[in-house]
Protein backbone atom coordinates (compact mmCIF):
# COMPACT_ATOMS: atom_id res chain seq x y z
CA UNK A 1 0.00 0.00 0.00
CA UNK A 2 1.08 3.60 -0.59
CA UNK A 3 0.95 4.38 3.12
CA UNK A 4 3.30 1.50 3.92
CA UNK A 5 6.41 3.37 2.76
CA UNK A 6 5.50 6.97 3.55
CA UNK A 7 6.97 8.73 6.60
CA UNK A 8 4.66 9.41 9.51
CA UNK A 9 2.19 12.24 9.28
CA UNK A 10 3.48 15.42 10.97
CA UNK A 11 1.57 16.96 13.86
CA UNK A 12 2.74 20.56 13.72
CA UNK A 13 4.18 22.29 10.62
CA UNK A 14 6.15 25.53 10.51
CA UNK A 15 5.60 27.58 7.32
CA UNK A 16 8.20 30.20 6.47
CA UNK A 17 6.12 33.08 5.10
CA UNK A 18 6.44 35.49 2.22
CA UNK A 19 7.83 38.47 4.06
CA UNK A 20 8.23 41.79 2.26
CA UNK A 21 6.40 42.07 -1.05
CA UNK A 22 9.36 42.76 -3.30
CA UNK A 23 11.23 41.15 -6.19
CA UNK A 24 12.28 37.67 -5.11
CA UNK A 25 9.47 37.17 -2.60
CA UNK A 26 6.46 38.77 -4.20
CA UNK A 27 2.70 38.30 -4.08
CA UNK A 28 2.69 34.81 -5.58
CA UNK A 29 4.45 33.53 -2.45
CA UNK A 30 1.78 35.06 -0.26
CA UNK A 31 -0.88 33.30 -2.35
CA UNK A 32 0.89 29.93 -2.47
CA UNK A 33 1.74 30.11 1.24
CA UNK A 34 -1.89 30.81 2.10
CA UNK A 35 -3.00 27.82 0.04
CA UNK A 36 -0.36 25.63 1.69
CA UNK A 37 -1.63 26.59 5.15
CA UNK A 38 -5.19 25.71 4.09
CA UNK A 39 -4.10 22.36 2.62
CA UNK A 40 -2.08 21.41 5.70
CA UNK A 41 -4.96 22.32 8.03
CA UNK A 42 -7.37 20.22 5.94
CA UNK A 43 -5.18 17.24 6.83
CA UNK A 44 -5.77 17.94 10.52
CA UNK A 45 -2.25 19.27 11.06
CA UNK A 46 -1.54 22.38 13.15
CA UNK A 47 0.24 25.25 11.37
CA UNK A 48 2.71 27.80 12.68
CA UNK A 49 3.58 30.76 10.44
CA UNK A 50 6.66 32.99 10.57
CA UNK A 51 6.16 36.18 8.58
CA UNK A 52 7.21 39.78 9.39
CA UNK A 53 4.65 41.36 7.05
CA UNK A 54 1.21 42.00 8.55
CA UNK A 55 -0.04 43.17 5.13
CA UNK A 56 -0.07 39.65 3.66
CA UNK A 57 -3.08 37.37 3.24
CA UNK A 58 -1.40 34.48 5.03
CA UNK A 59 -1.14 36.49 8.26
CA UNK A 60 -4.92 37.02 8.29
CA UNK A 61 -6.86 35.84 11.30
CA UNK A 62 -8.20 32.31 10.92
CA UNK A 63 -5.53 30.92 8.59
CA UNK A 64 -2.50 29.71 10.55
CA UNK A 65 -3.08 28.37 14.05
CA UNK A 66 -0.16 30.43 15.37
CA UNK A 67 1.56 33.44 13.81
CA UNK A 68 4.97 34.89 14.67
CA UNK A 69 5.38 38.39 13.21
CA UNK A 70 9.14 38.32 13.12
CA UNK A 71 12.00 38.28 10.63
CA UNK A 72 12.72 35.01 8.82
CA UNK A 73 16.26 34.46 10.11
CA UNK A 74 17.92 31.19 11.18
CA UNK A 75 18.35 32.39 14.78
CA UNK A 76 14.73 33.45 15.29
CA UNK A 77 13.29 30.49 13.41
CA UNK A 78 15.32 28.07 15.57
CA UNK A 79 13.84 29.62 18.71
CA UNK A 80 10.34 29.27 17.27
CA UNK A 81 11.01 25.62 16.29
CA UNK A 82 11.81 24.89 19.92
CA UNK A 83 9.02 26.97 21.44
CA UNK A 84 6.27 25.60 19.18
CA UNK A 85 7.59 22.01 19.18
CA UNK A 86 7.07 21.63 15.43
CA UNK A 87 8.09 18.39 13.73
CA UNK A 88 8.04 19.56 10.08
CA UNK A 89 8.84 22.69 8.09
CA UNK A 90 7.83 24.07 4.68
CA UNK A 91 10.50 26.17 2.94
CA UNK A 92 8.97 26.83 -0.47
CA UNK A 93 6.54 29.65 0.32
CA UNK A 94 8.70 32.55 1.45
CA UNK A 95 10.75 33.42 -1.59
CA UNK A 96 14.52 33.80 -1.46
CA UNK A 97 14.67 34.69 2.24
CA UNK A 98 12.89 31.51 3.32
CA UNK A 99 14.97 29.29 1.03
CA UNK A 100 18.24 30.74 2.32
CA UNK A 101 17.00 30.40 5.90
CA UNK A 102 16.06 26.76 5.34
CA UNK A 103 19.45 25.94 3.86
CA UNK A 104 21.18 27.60 6.82
CA UNK A 105 19.07 25.66 9.34
CA UNK A 106 19.90 22.41 7.57
CA UNK A 107 23.62 23.09 7.17
CA UNK A 108 24.02 24.09 10.83
CA UNK A 109 22.36 20.85 11.95
CA UNK A 110 19.38 22.60 13.58
CA UNK A 111 16.73 20.61 11.71
CA UNK A 112 18.35 17.29 12.58
CA UNK A 113 18.91 18.40 16.18
CA UNK A 114 15.22 18.95 16.78
CA UNK A 115 13.94 16.20 14.47
CA UNK A 116 12.27 18.62 12.05
CA UNK A 117 11.46 17.13 8.64
CA UNK A 118 11.41 19.23 5.44
CA UNK A 119 8.10 18.80 3.62
CA UNK A 120 7.90 18.92 -0.16
CA UNK A 121 10.98 19.63 -2.25
CA UNK A 122 14.04 18.27 -0.38
CA UNK A 123 17.07 20.30 0.67
CA UNK A 124 19.28 18.86 -2.07
CA UNK A 125 16.82 19.90 -4.78
CA UNK A 126 16.74 23.43 -3.35
CA UNK A 127 20.53 23.50 -3.35
CA UNK A 128 20.69 22.18 -6.91
CA UNK A 129 18.43 24.97 -8.16
CA UNK A 130 19.89 27.76 -6.00
CA UNK A 131 23.54 27.07 -6.84
CA UNK A 132 23.75 27.94 -10.52
CA UNK A 133 26.83 25.79 -11.14
CA UNK A 134 25.08 22.75 -9.68
CA UNK A 135 21.91 23.61 -11.61
CA UNK A 136 23.72 23.62 -14.94
CA UNK A 137 25.52 20.37 -14.08
CA UNK A 138 22.23 18.69 -13.17
CA UNK A 139 20.59 19.79 -16.42
CA UNK A 140 23.59 18.56 -18.39
CA UNK A 141 22.99 15.11 -16.90
CA UNK A 142 19.69 14.84 -18.79
CA UNK A 143 20.76 16.66 -21.93
CA UNK A 144 18.87 19.90 -21.28
CA UNK A 145 20.77 22.73 -22.97
CA UNK A 146 21.54 25.99 -21.19
CA UNK A 147 23.13 29.25 -22.24
CA UNK A 148 26.93 29.29 -22.34
CA UNK A 149 28.03 30.40 -18.91
CA UNK A 150 30.74 30.54 -16.27
CA UNK A 151 30.23 30.42 -12.50
CA UNK A 152 32.56 32.86 -10.75
CA UNK A 153 33.46 33.37 -7.11
CA UNK A 154 35.55 36.54 -7.50
CA UNK A 155 35.22 39.79 -9.40
CA UNK A 156 38.34 39.02 -11.44
CA UNK A 157 36.90 35.67 -12.54
CA UNK A 158 33.60 37.30 -13.52
CA UNK A 159 35.32 40.00 -15.57
CA UNK A 160 37.47 37.44 -17.41
CA UNK A 161 34.45 35.22 -18.09
CA UNK A 162 32.46 38.12 -19.55
CA UNK A 163 35.27 39.00 -21.95
CA UNK A 164 35.69 35.34 -22.93
CA UNK A 165 31.98 34.78 -23.66
CA UNK A 166 31.71 38.15 -25.38
CA UNK A 167 29.59 41.21 -24.62
CA UNK A 168 26.74 41.72 -24.09
CA UNK A 169 26.44 39.20 -21.24
CA UNK A 170 23.90 38.52 -18.50
CA UNK A 171 25.18 38.63 -14.92
CA UNK A 172 23.15 36.69 -12.36
CA UNK A 173 23.79 36.42 -8.65
CA UNK A 174 23.77 32.91 -7.21
CA UNK A 175 21.22 32.15 -4.47
CA UNK A 176 19.01 34.96 -5.78
CA UNK A 177 16.34 33.42 -8.01
CA UNK A 178 14.27 36.60 -7.87
CA UNK A 179 16.81 38.46 -9.97
CA UNK A 180 18.56 40.54 -7.34
CA UNK A 181 21.89 41.86 -8.64
CA UNK A 182 21.19 40.63 -12.17
CA UNK A 183 21.40 42.61 -15.37
CA UNK A 184 22.69 42.82 -18.93
CA UNK A 185 26.16 44.28 -19.39
CA UNK A 186 26.64 46.00 -22.72
CA UNK A 187 30.12 47.53 -22.53
CA UNK A 188 33.52 46.98 -20.96
CA UNK A 189 33.12 50.30 -19.13
CA UNK A 190 29.97 49.05 -17.37
CA UNK A 191 31.41 45.64 -16.54
CA UNK A 192 33.24 46.39 -13.28
CA UNK A 193 30.25 48.15 -11.71
CA UNK A 194 27.91 45.32 -12.75
CA UNK A 195 30.24 42.70 -11.26
CA UNK A 196 30.46 44.66 -7.99
CA UNK A 197 26.67 44.88 -7.86
CA UNK A 198 26.38 41.15 -8.53
CA UNK A 199 28.51 40.33 -5.48
CA UNK A 200 26.72 42.83 -3.21
CA UNK A 201 25.30 41.49 0.04
CA UNK A 202 27.79 38.65 0.37
CA UNK A 203 26.54 36.69 -2.65
CA UNK A 204 29.03 33.78 -2.95
CA UNK A 205 28.88 33.40 -6.71
CA UNK A 206 27.95 35.23 -9.89
CA UNK A 207 26.95 33.51 -13.09
CA UNK A 208 28.14 35.14 -16.30
CA UNK A 209 26.21 33.85 -19.30
CA UNK A 210 25.62 34.69 -22.91
CA UNK A 211 22.85 37.20 -23.45
CA UNK A 212 19.62 35.74 -24.86
CA UNK A 213 17.92 39.08 -25.29
CA UNK A 214 15.15 38.92 -27.87
CA UNK A 215 14.28 35.24 -27.34
CA UNK A 216 10.74 34.22 -26.38
CA UNK A 217 10.22 33.74 -22.65
CA UNK A 218 7.98 30.75 -21.82
CA UNK A 219 7.23 29.30 -18.39
CA UNK A 220 5.60 25.99 -17.45
CA UNK A 221 3.91 25.33 -14.12
CA UNK A 222 4.45 21.67 -13.22
CA UNK A 223 3.20 19.90 -10.08
CA UNK A 224 4.74 16.55 -9.04
CA UNK A 225 3.63 14.37 -6.14
CA UNK A 226 5.49 11.78 -4.08
CA UNK A 227 4.50 8.99 -6.48
CA UNK A 228 6.08 10.74 -9.47
CA UNK A 229 2.79 11.84 -11.01
CA UNK A 230 3.31 15.09 -12.93
CA UNK A 231 0.67 17.56 -14.05
CA UNK A 232 1.36 20.57 -16.25
CA UNK A 233 -1.05 23.07 -14.72
CA UNK A 234 -0.50 25.68 -17.43
CA UNK A 235 2.13 27.38 -19.50
CA UNK A 236 2.67 31.11 -19.75
CA UNK A 237 4.26 33.46 -22.23
CA UNK A 238 5.70 36.91 -21.67
CA UNK A 239 4.42 39.43 -24.20
CA UNK A 240 7.88 41.01 -24.04
CA UNK A 241 10.91 39.04 -25.21
CA UNK A 242 13.89 38.16 -23.02
CA UNK A 243 15.65 41.27 -21.79
CA UNK A 244 12.62 42.76 -20.03
CA UNK A 245 12.42 41.82 -16.35
CA UNK A 246 9.48 39.51 -15.64
CA UNK A 247 8.23 41.84 -12.93
CA UNK A 248 7.85 44.59 -15.51
CA UNK A 249 6.33 42.46 -18.27
CA UNK A 250 2.81 41.28 -19.05
CA UNK A 251 2.35 37.51 -18.93
CA UNK A 252 -0.51 35.61 -20.58
CA UNK A 253 -1.67 32.04 -19.98
CA UNK A 254 -1.73 29.85 -21.95
CA UNK A 255 1.00 30.78 -24.44
CA UNK A 256 -0.19 32.43 -27.64
CA UNK A 257 2.53 31.95 -30.26
CA UNK A 258 3.71 28.34 -29.84
CA UNK A 259 2.65 25.61 -32.25
CA UNK A 260 1.80 22.19 -30.81
CA UNK A 261 5.22 20.71 -31.55
CA UNK A 262 6.96 23.52 -29.66
CA UNK A 263 4.44 23.31 -26.81
CA UNK A 264 4.92 19.54 -26.39
CA UNK A 265 8.72 19.83 -26.61
CA UNK A 266 8.87 22.41 -23.83
CA UNK A 267 6.33 20.51 -21.74
CA UNK A 268 8.44 17.34 -22.02
CA UNK A 269 11.60 19.22 -21.01
CA UNK A 270 9.81 20.83 -18.03
CA UNK A 271 8.53 17.50 -16.68
CA UNK A 272 11.89 15.82 -17.31
CA UNK A 273 13.65 18.58 -15.37
CA UNK A 274 11.23 18.50 -12.43
CA UNK A 275 11.59 14.73 -12.09
CA UNK A 276 15.37 14.78 -12.36
CA UNK A 277 15.76 17.50 -9.73
CA UNK A 278 13.33 15.78 -7.36
CA UNK A 279 10.81 18.62 -7.04
CA UNK A 280 7.72 17.50 -5.09
CA UNK A 281 4.66 19.30 -3.75
CA UNK A 282 4.61 20.13 -0.05
CA UNK A 283 1.03 18.92 0.44
CA UNK A 284 1.94 15.30 -0.36
CA UNK A 285 1.41 14.34 3.30
CA UNK A 286 0.52 10.81 4.47
CA UNK A 287 -3.23 10.59 5.03
CA UNK A 288 -5.73 7.75 5.46
CA UNK A 289 -7.53 9.23 2.45
CA UNK A 290 -4.51 8.50 0.23
CA UNK A 291 -3.56 5.06 1.49
User: In this structure, what CATH number is given to the domain that contains residue 194?
Assistant: 3.30.1490.20
Q: Do residues 26 and 165 share a domain?
A: no
**What confidence tier does 188 reach under pLDDT thresholds 50, 70, 90?**
very high
Count of domains forming the chain: 3
Q: Do residues 253 and 132 share a domain?
A: yes
Name the residue among 25, 149, 26 with its Cα closest to residue 95.
Answer: 25
Residue 278 counted as domain residue = yes
Number of neighbours of residue 164 by Cβ within 10 angstroms: 11
Higher pLDDT, 3 or 37: 37
pLDDT score at 21: 59
Q: Residue 17's Cα: distance from chain center in Å?
A: 13
Q: Do residues 134 and 259 share a domain?
A: yes
Q: Do residues 169 and 234 share a domain?
A: no
How does the average pLDDT of the chain come out, rounded? 88
Residue 254 counted as domain residue = yes
pLDDT score at 249: 85
Q: Is the dihedral of CA 256, 257, 260, 265 positive or negative?
A: negative
What is the per-residue pLDDT across 81-112, written as a single tens digit (0 to 9) for each? 999 999 999 998 888 889 989 999 999 999 99
User: What is the chain's Cα-based Rg?
Assistant: 20
Of 22-36, 167-181, 214-228, highest mean pLDDT = 214-228
Q: Do residues 79 and 206 share a domain?
A: no
* Residue 185 exposed, middle or buried by CB count within 10 Å (0-12, 13-18, 19+): buried
pLDDT score at 180: 59
Q: What is the pTM of this model?
A: 0.81
Amino acid sequence: MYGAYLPRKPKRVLVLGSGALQIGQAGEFDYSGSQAIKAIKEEGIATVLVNPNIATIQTSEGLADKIHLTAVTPELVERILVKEEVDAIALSFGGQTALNCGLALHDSGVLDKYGVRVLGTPIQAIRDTEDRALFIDRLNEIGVKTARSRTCSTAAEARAAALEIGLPVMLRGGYALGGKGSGIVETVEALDEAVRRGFDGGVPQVLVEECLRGWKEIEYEVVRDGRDNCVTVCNMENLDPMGIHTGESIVVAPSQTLNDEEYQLLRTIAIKTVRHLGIVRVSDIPSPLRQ
